[in-house]
Amino acid sequence: MQRPGENDLSAVSGPADSIDPRVLDRAVAALTERFADYQRLLVLSGAGLSTASGIGDYRDHDGNYKRPPPVTIQRFLESTAARQRYWARSLFGWPAFAAARPNPAHLALARWEAALRARGGWLKVITQNVDGLHQAAGHNEVIELHGSLHDVGCLDCGAVEPRAQLQHRLLAENPQLMGTRATLAPDGDADLEDVVLDSVSVPQCLACGGRLKPTVVFFGDSVPRAAVESAYRWVEAADALLIVGSSVMIHSSFRFCRRARDQSIPLVAINRGKTRADSWLEQKFEVPCEALLPRAVNQLYGS
């Protein structure tokens, strides 16, 4: 098994247009050679796949958090102040998140899926992302481990409301926040300056007046068992597992790497930085996925 550092395809940093073309050429050749004969490909994706769409990521090159982790589910449920803070920040972070569109890496993976399906194979996606960009790019089989930020659900009656619709209510109920200085953060969040949080009006369920929460898995919560079991079945049926844009530092994604290792399924990563599965990888490409994947798919199936 080839270990990280045993090839010259890593240690690349900077934006996609600053990559040494020779390094990218070698990465394209190596990736296409490895995946040319695989007919059942499972992709495990993370935040690094969506950064080229304008959505920030959480971790640095060493896999450490670049900022404090998001609010935990326990804190969100127990604290009115935590919910005020969450919804105030979401008010400013949502527009840019909602405007994000699939980037060349998403589109290349969707094209890869279509090409394999036309040949009797498949490409399926397990994603940690909550942005829906895989589906927007045209993927048909996606497990969203952490849910979707595009809906909110009532914790009391179960009613669901589109997050875009909720934005109008947040704006109408919090005019005092207009003019607040905000800096975008990952996943529809934002850092705010000079906000009096106890003035924030928290949205309530239109059906019952209950507490609302995005339909995502918060820190400290669990991925639904049905999703985990389906993901394990996909791993066990795959010819290879390709990690794209994820450090797989958290258990919710890392367990699928462990299952692939246990089943002797090849593990390959496209990730600009350390992953928790580095010691198990057969190959690793530390080049931007939005630069590598379109060229690799073109080489595999024609431009």
- Give residue-wise pLDDT tens across range 124-179: 999 999 999 999 999 999 999 999 999 999 999 999 999 999 999 999 999 999 98
What positions carry a catalytic annotation? 146
Between CA 116 and CA 240 the distance in angstroms is 14
With b meaning 16 or more CB within 10 Å and e meaning fewer, what string describes 18-32?
A: ebeeebbebbbebbb
pTM, rounded to two decimals: 0.91
Name which residue leads in pLDDT, 196 or 84.
84
Task: Give which of 221, 279, 290 is closest to 248, Cα–Cα.
Answer: 279
At 237, list the tokens: 């049926």
At 163, list the tokens: 């997050």
- Specify the DSSP element, H or E, that contains 236: helix 225-237
- Give residue-wise pLDDT tens across range 33-65: 999 999 999 999 999 999 999 998 877 787 777
- Give residue-wise pLDDT tens across range 244-293: 999 999 999 999 999 999 999 999 999 999 999 999 999 999 999 999 99
The pLDDT of residue 17: 54
Residue 202 backbone zone (phi > 0: left; psi -120 to 50: alpha; other: beta): beta
> How confident is residue 12, by pLDDT bands cut at 50, 70 and 90?
very low
Q: Indicate the average pLDDT of the chain.
A: 91
The pLDDT of residue 270: 98
User: What is the average per-residue pLDDT within 184-198?
Assistant: 89
